[in-house]
Amino acid sequence: MRNLVSIILALILLAVGTTGPALAQSGADLLEEVQARYESIDGIQSRFVQTVESEFASARRTEGTLYLAGARYRVETDQQTFVTDGSTTWIYSPAQKQVIINRASDDGSDLTPQTFFTDYAARYAVDTSRDTTVAGTAFTVLDLKPSVPEASFDHVRLWVNPVSRIIERLRVRDANGSVITIRLRDISVNPGLSDTTFRFDPPEDVEIVDLRSS
Mean pLDDT, the chain, as a whole number?
Answer: 85
* Across 14-30, average pLDDT: 51
Q: What is the pLDDT of residues 129-166, one digit of tens each?
A: 999 998 889 999 999 999 999 888 999 999 999 999 99
* Across 23-32, average pLDDT: 74
pLDDT value, residue 207: 96
pLDDT value, residue 25: 40
* Across 96-123, average pLDDT: 83
pLDDT at position 176 over 70: yes
pLDDT at position 12 over 70: no
CA dihedral of 106, 108, 110, 114, whole degrees rounded to 10: 100
For residue 120, give Cα distances in angstroms to 58, 61, 68, 99, 152.
Answer: 28, 24, 16, 31, 10
The residues facing 102 across adjacent strands are: 89
Amino acid at position 116, single letter: F
pLDDT at position 4 over 70: no
Confidence of residue 16 (pLDDT cuts 50, 70, 90): very low
Name the percent of the chain lying above pLDDT 70. 86
Confidence of residue 167 (pLDDT cuts 50, 70, 90): very high
The domains of the chain, with CATH numbers, are 23-210 (2.50.20.10)
